[in-house]
Amino acid sequence: MTIKKNISGAEALIHCLIEEGVDLIYGYPGGAIMPFYDELYKFQDKLQHVLTRHEQGATHAAQGYARVSGKVGVCVATSGPGATNLITGIADAMIDSTPLICITGQVPSHLLGSDAFQETDIIGISTPVTKWNYQITNAKEIPEIISKAFYIAKAGRPGPVLIDITKDAQFDNFDFKYSKCKGIRSYKPIPQINLKSVEDAAFIINKSKKPLIVWGQGVILGNAELEFKSFIEKTNIPAAWTILGVSAIPTSHPQNVGMVGMHGNYGPNMLTNECDVLIAIGMRFDDRVTGDLKTYAKKAQIIHLEIDPAEVNKNVKANVPILGDVKQSLPLLQKLVDFKNYTNWYETFKEHDKIEFENVIKNDLYPKKEGLTMGEVIKEINTATKGNAIIVTDVGQHQMVACRYADFNLSKSNITSGGLGTMGFALPAALGAKMADPKREVVAVIGDGGIQMTIQELGTIFQTQAAVKVVVLNNEFLGMVRQWQQLFFDKRYASTELINPDFVKIAEGYYINSKRVSKRKELRKSIEEMIKSEKPFFLEVCVEKEDNVFPMIPSGASVSDIRLS
């Protein structure tokens, strides 16, 4: 237990963070959080602060840091607009289960409810998008609340926690004692595994002839990559992934049959409705994965391994739910399952792969037309990085193309906004990812629409000199919306065509090495130059304006209604 006599609440907050192993925070100062920043100035040798250019950038940077490091990300903002600017990133972290501690300053407690300057009810605003939140009005509360916040953010299914601290609580002195929270009465973050459910699941799996595994981010969040790999190799069952689950095993693994969902691979989507057992591991049956629930996997018995009871039977009824931590439940299940030779079943996947290659992949990766495709850009990034890079994507066509075609050899390599679909996520998240693991190459793949939502964070990258490689795929459209307008709204391109600035000049204005590519013969050399650079690098690639991302399951359609064109 750490004890400090007669220190301010602001200094106590610093000691809490240090005790929790925090060494890096992202934020933006202001009046109501100024006492904290004043104390932070004295602890620069122990706690690095990165000044982002916008509070939303601070949340996304903290998300990128958390997703790559496996630690809790921390961001700080002042009251009023500073606090409200965090909300998009907090909501993103909530739906994608990212552990964050978000600290906001607040007006002095005697002014609460008076509509004081820069006062907002951030507790009320953030309640729907946080795992927990709390407003501190007394300095003595700080140690217990911060300790509890870190425990809640990380325990069980992770998520964001917001702590709002009034200015007077930061100034007031008290005798500080700190001990880490190891549990909270009435909060049981990890359900106890029901061994009968494990036995029932094994019985169903061992009888199956066409089983399919679909895994999600829960495998990565549970640090269960080795257990997962061992399980699938013991069973020899084909395994498909959601976009947040990819990289838990290498994309080259022979049992990896591709991505499910709206722009996923043809085989695993079509054969979802042919499998006789669907084993869902650490995924939540999102609507972009299932399509029409009335027709989803109706031939299959559903086995659902999940840590959050709220996700079981929420969208898809499970025949056998296995609640618990997958790092613990997978080995128990593995002991009871048999290895089988599913040769014919795998051949069916390969037949679908051939169809997809001829109709989609060949045109994306080996185009005969003059203009560049997004797919061939990702292919060249794979070549230059040998599949060892962390790929951070924004939201849109480029995101789907990157998830489909990027090679991932290592876990925690695909950082993207999954559930909320936040444009503007990638640039600051890539900064956080790079600072979490400076030795790994980090490539941010961003559309020309998304980059303009947080383009100011180029200033943060310049100031930190984090060697993030930024690739903007410029098609002069809000590409995904335009695709829907083309396919479902008779090509009425309402408010989706972009008149863009000179991105290269903007990046050069931030003193970042920059280049523009529009011809195929320049692409490989330019990407190699970018990857070899030891400094930040900005590469704009001008791609075909009206290319579409296929396969595609129309919104609300069955997964077997997947379109190849």
What are the domain boundaries of the chain?
Answer: 2-178, 195-349, 367-542
Element (H, E) at 414: strand 414-415
Q: Which amino acid is at 127?
A: T
**DSSP code of residue 563:** B
Long-range contact set of residues 292-295: C-beta below 8 Å, sequence gap at least 24 = 292/556, 292/557, 292/558, 292/559, 295/558, 295/559, 295/560
- DSSP 3-state assignment of 392? strand
pLDDT band at 2 (very low <50, low <70, confident <90, very high): confident
Q: What is the pLDDT of residue 287?
A: 96
Strand order in the sheet with 73-77: 48-51, 24-27, 73-77, 100-106, 160-166, 132-136
Q: In this model, does residue 187 exceed pLDDT 90?
A: yes
The structure tokens listed for 319 are 């025949």
Q: What values do phi and psi take at 162, rounded to 5?
A: -110, 130
Active-site choice (19, 43, 48, 118): 118
Q: Could you tell me the CATH superfamily of domain 2-178? A: Thiamin diphosphate (ThDP)-binding fold, Pyr/PP domains (3.40.50.970)
55 among known catalytic residues: yes
Active-site choice (117, 203, 339, 488): 117
Helical residues (DSSP H) of 142-210, grouped into ranges = 142-154, 167-171, 195-207
Distant-in-sequence, close-in-space partners of 99: CB < 8 Å, separation ≥ 6: 66, 71, 72, 73, 93, 153, 154, 158, 159, 160
Q: Is the dihedral of CA 431, 434, 438, 440 positive or negative?
A: negative
CATH second-level architecture of 367-542?
3-Layer(aba) Sandwich (3.40)
Helical residues (DSSP H) of 262-325, grouped into ranges = 266-272, 287-290
26 φ/ψ sector (left φ>0, alpha ψ -120 to 50, else beta): beta
Q: Is the dihedral of CA 342, 343, 347, 353 positive or negative?
A: positive
Distance CA 479, CA 157 (A): 33
Active-site choice (20, 39, 55, 356): 55
Q: What is the pLDDT of residue 171?
A: 98
- CATH of the structural domain 195-349, one choice from 3.40.50.1220, 3.20.20.70, 3.40.710.10, 3.40.50.2300: 3.40.50.1220
Distance CA 267, CA 256 (A): 11
Distant-in-sequence, close-in-space partners of 357: CB < 8 Å, separation ≥ 6: none
Given a contact cutoff of 8 angstroms between Cβ atoms, the answer to whether 175 and 243 are in contact is no
Mean pLDDT of 146-166: 98
- DSSP 3-state assignment of 545? coil
Q: In this model, does residue 18 exceed pLDDT 80?
A: yes
Task: Report how far Cα 525 is from the mean position of its chain's Cα atoms.
Answer: 30
- How many C-beta atoms lie closer than 10 Å to residue 426's C-beta? 37
* pLDDT > 70 in the chain, percent: 100
Given a contact cutoff of 8 angstroms between Cβ atoms, the answer to whether 456 and 405 are in contact is no
- Give, rounded to a whole angstrom, the gap between the first and last alpha carbons of the chain: 63
Given a contact cutoff of 8 angstroms between Cβ atoms, the answer to whether 485 and 496 are in contact is yes
Active-site choice (167, 229, 412, 434): 167
- State the chain's mean pLDDT as an integer: 97
Active-site choice (259, 270, 435, 480): 480
Distant-in-sequence, close-in-space partners of 433: CB < 8 Å, separation ≥ 6: 64, 65, 67, 68, 390, 392, 415, 442
Q: In this model, does residue 175 exceed pLDDT 90?
A: yes
pLDDT digits (tens, 9 = 90+) for 93-136: 999 999 999 999 999 999 999 999 999 999 999 999 999 999 99
Q: Do the domains 367-542 and 195-349 match in fold?
A: yes
Distance CA 196, CA 430 (A): 43
Pairing of strands 173-178, 2-8: antiparallel
**DSSP code of residue 243:** T
Given a contact cutoff of 8 angstroms between Cβ atoms, the answer to whether 63 and 98 are in contact is yes
pLDDT digits (tens, 9 = 90+) for 261-318: 999 999 999 999 999 999 999 999 999 999 999 999 999 999 999 999 999 999 999 9
480 among known catalytic residues: yes
118 among known catalytic residues: yes
Mean pLDDT of 146-173: 98
Nearest to 205 by CA among 277, 275, 271, 281: 277
Mean pLDDT of 168-175: 98
pLDDT band at 156 (very low <50, low <70, confident <90, very high): very high
Q: What is the pLDDT of residue 354?
A: 98
Mean pLDDT of 203-212: 98
pLDDT digits (tens, 9 = 90+) for 229-247: 999 999 999 999 999 999 9
Q: What is the pLDDT of residue 1?
A: 72
